[in-house]
Amino acid sequence: MANFRTIDRQTGYLLPPSVDEWLPEKHLARFIVEVIDGLDLGRLSGAYRGSGSASYHPRMLLGLLVYGYATGTF
């Protein structure tokens, strides 16, 4: 089993509100998460060697990359 950090978008923060309260229902980030969650990234995760400490899941990193390109943030 790969050694990825877990993705938990439902966790609330100590002081600020949860991410669900920050983003409007039809925000681009929500759309990107929905699309990427529907992709089969099995080959990408399977190619990961798993050495060192826990890494961010490829699904999380791909989402950040796509959102960055979509908003012009590099």
Report yes or no: 13 and 21 within 8 Å, Cβ to Cβ.
no
Residue carrying structure tokens 């050694």: 3
- Nearest 5°: the CA angle 12, 18, 21 is 155
Q: Whole-angstrom Cα distance, residue 24 to residue 37?
A: 19
DSSP 3-state of 55: strand
Tell me what pLDDT residue 4 has: 85
pLDDT tens-digit map of 42-73? 888 888 777 778 888 889 999 999 999 999 99
List residues bridging with 4 in a β-sheet: 55
Tell me what pLDDT residue 16 has: 61
pLDDT tens-digit map of 5-32? 888 777 766 656 677 778 888 999 999 9
